[in-house]
Structure 1
Amino acid sequence: MNSFRGRDFLRMTDFSREEVLVLLNLAAELKSGKTTVRCEQVLGLLFKKASTRTRVSFSVAMYQMGGQVIDLNTNLTQVSRGEPAVDTARVLDRYLDVLAIRTYEQQEVDTFASAANIPVINALTDLEHPCQVLADLLTVQEEFGTLEDVTLTYIGDGNNVAHSLLLGCALVGMNVRVASPEGYRPEPDIVAQAQAIAGDRTQVLVTHDPTLAAKDSQVLYTDVWASMGQESEAENRMPLFQPYQINDQLLGVADDKAIVLHCLPAHREEEITEAVLEGSQSRIWDEAENRLHAQKALLALLLGVS
C-alpha cells in the first residue's frame, strides 16, 4: 500500500495491473464496511467543468474519512484572471494535502503535477476520465466476481471515457471493444497503447459496427454523443450517432447476462433508451454509487492513511 503514497493519478496507466486490483479490493472493503479509513487532510477541488457525481463523490469520500474539502471555484480565484497554472500549483501545494482537477487540457493537470509535491488527481480532462473507470471496473467486478476475460463494449463517441476504458480494461485483463462512427473513433495513440498492454492476452477492437462489437459482450457501455465543450456539435452529430444507440435490439445480441453502464448524465432516447436505462440489466446507479467508494480508496492510498 505504501507504494501509492504521494503519487499522482493523471492517467489510467499511472497504476499497474496489480495496483489497480489493490485499489479495487480496498474500494470493495470500504463499501462493505469491513474496512474504514481516517484522515485529517484537506482535499482541494479545482473544477473548470460542471460536475455532479465527481464533485459530490470526492467531497463525501473525504468527509466520511474525517478530512476537509475546499471547493476552489475558478470564478472566485485568481485562476479566472489568468494566473499561470504553475504559480497556482506552487501555492496550493503549501495549503493542501491532495488536489483533484477537472478541466479541458490534459497538459493542465500535467503542469500542476509537475509543479506541486502533493498528489494531483485527474478528475476529468478531454483526454481521459480515469476516476470514472475505476468505478466502472469495481461495478464489473461486483457483478461477475472477476475482471479477467470479461468483455466490455463501449458504443458511441471515442472520447475521454472511451480512452480510459480502453486502457483500464487492457490493464486488468478484460476484452474491450469500441464502436464509433467514422471520424469519431478514439485517438489512435490510445488504441495502440491499449493493444500493447493487452498483447496476446485479451482483445482490443475498434470498429464502426455496433452489432459486431456488442455480440456476446458481458458489458454494454455508452456516454453522451457530444461531451462538455462540444454542445454546438450535438445537432450535427445526431444522425451520425443514431445507429449507436443502446436499445433492446442491441442488448439482444449481447450475452444473456449482460449489464449496461453509463457514466452519466444520460440523454434518454438518444445514446440510450429509457427502457434499457431503467431496465433489469442496468447497473448504472450502482456504477454511480461506486464513484464514491473507488475515489475514497484512491484518496486513502495516495494520502497513505488507514
Structure 2
Amino acid sequence: MRHFLTLRDFSKEEILELINFASSIKKEPKKLLVDKSLAMIFEKNSTRTRMAFELGIKELGGRSLFLSSNDLQISRGEPIKDTARVIGSMVDFVMLRVNSHESLLEFARYSKAPIINGLSDLYHPTQVLGDLLTIKEFNKQGKVAFIGDANNMANSWLIAASILGFEIALAIPQNYAINAEILEFAKNEAKKSGAKILITHDKFEALKGKDVVITDTWISMGEEAKKVQKLKDFEGFIVDNKAMSVANEGAIFLHCLPAYRGYEVSEEVFEAHSEVIFTEATNRLHVVKAVLCFLDKFRGI
C-alpha cells in the first residue's frame, strides 16, 4: 500500500505520471472509483483542498465523509492510532489536513487505507502538483523562484525541483531558514537529478531569469499572533511589478491562495496573473483525482 504524505516518497517518473494523468482526466473525466469512499479529517480551515477532494471523489464515482477534528474523539484524547484503525478500516482513502506532520505519520502507521496529506506544517504536496500541472499548461520552463516564508510550500517546492531536476531559487528573510533535514534531502537529490538550488535573502537575486514566480501568505494558519512581527520581518518581500520585471519576460505568477494584497503580492500583480492563479486553484481538483486513482492501484499491496 502506498500513502501520499510528501513528494519525497515518489520518483521523478511517478510525479510526472501523476501530472500527465491529471491533465488527461481534466480533458476527459471518467468514473474510475465507483463506490469508493473517502474520509476527510480537518484540523485546519480549508476552501480549495476540501472542494478538490469532495468533488474529486464524487466525480470519480465515489463518496466523501467530512470529519471535523472537533467532532471526533481525538479532540477528547483518543489516541490517533485508535482513530486510524477505525476510520482506516471503514473507508478506501483518508485525507487529513493537520497541524503536525507527525499526526499524518502516526495515522499512516495504523490505517488500512491510504493516507493523503491535505496540508501539514511541513508539506503541501497536492498544491505543488496543481502548480506543476498549471506550469505545464502554460508552457513555462523549469526555472522557478519562490519568494516568502520557509514554510510547507517552500519545502514542497524545494523537494519537487530537486527530484524533477529543474532550477529553483528561494528568497526568504534574514533569520528564517529552510528545514535543515529537508534541505539536505534536496541537495542530495539535486546531485542525481541535476537540479540547481539557490537559497538567498535577496528577492531580486532569486527572481533573475525565472519563468515562474511563486509566493504564499506570510502568516500561515495558526500564526495570527505573530502577524505584527512577521510583517516587519518580511518588509520588502512583496511581489510587485518591480519584482516581476526582474523575472523573464512573460513569466507567470502563482499563489496557492488565500492571497493578501499589499503583503506578499501587490493588487496589480495578482490581477495581471489572475487567469493563471485561478487555473492553478481549479487544477487542484484534477491532481487530487490523479492521486486517488494512483493510490487505488496499490491498495492491498
Q: What is the SS of the residue equivalent to 1:72?
A: strand
TM-score normalized with structure 1 length: 0.94
- The corresponding residue for 2:115 is 120
Q: Is the 8 Å Cα contact of residues 127 and 163 (structure 1) preserved in structure 2?
A: yes
- The corresponding residue for 1:3 is none
Amino acid at match of 1:114: R
Q: What is the SS of the residue equivalent to 2:195?
A: coil
- Rounded to whole Å, the distance in 1 between the matches of 2:222 and 2:135 is 29
- The corresponding residue for 1:256 is 249
- Rounded to whole Å, the distance in 2 between the matches of 1:75 and 1:105 is 16
- The corresponding residue for 1:184 is 176
Amino acid at match of 2:112: N
Name the CA shift for 1:79/1:261 in 2 (closer, same or farther; >3 Å): same
How many angstroms does 1:280 deviate by? 4.4
Question: Equivalent residues in 2 for 1:223-262 (5 A)?
Answer: 223-262=216-255
How many angstroms does 1:130 deviate by? 0.8
Q: Is the 8 Å Cα contact of residues 114 and 295 (structure 2) preserved in structure 1?
A: yes
TM-score normalized with structure 2 length: 0.95
Establish whether residue 106 from structure 1 lines up as the match of residue 84 from structure 2: no
- Rounded to whole Å, the distance in 1 between the matches of 2:132 and 2:241 is 24
Q: What is the SS of the residue equivalent to 2:34?
A: coil
- Rounded to whole Å, the distance in 1 between the matches of 2:53 and 2:116 is 11
Deviation per residue, 1:60-105 (Å, 9 max, x gap): 0001011010001112221111110000000112211100011111
Deviation per residue, 1:182-223 (Å, 9 max, x gap): 222211221121111111712111110100000010010000
Amino acid at match of 2:187: Q
- The corresponding residue for 1:54 is 49
- Rounded to whole Å, the distance in 1 between the matches of 2:120 and 2:134 is 22
Q: What is the SS of the residue equivalent to 1:144?
A: coil
> Which structure 1 segments of 5+ residues have no match?
1-5
- Rounded to whole Å, the distance in 1 between the matches of 2:61 and 2:30 is 15
Matched length: 297
Establish whether residue 7 from structure 1 lines up as the match of residue 17 from structure 2: no
Amino acid at match of 2:17: V
- Rounded to whole Å, the distance in 1 between the matches of 2:11 and 2:285 is 21
- Rounded to whole Å, the distance in 2 between the matches of 1:38 and 1:85 is 27
- Rounded to whole Å, the distance in 1 between the matches of 2:207 and 2:174 is 17
Q: What is the SS of the residue equivalent to 1:141?
A: helix
Runs of 4+ more than 2 Å apart: 34-39
- The corresponding residue for 1:222 is 215
What is the RMSD computed on CA atoms of the aligned residues?
1.5
- The corresponding residue for 1:289 is 282
- Rounded to whole Å, the distance in 2 between the matches of 1:64 and 1:57 is 10
Q: Is the 8 Å Cα contact of residues 210 and 244 (structure 1) preserved in structure 2?
A: yes
How many angstroms does 1:243 deviate by? 1.0
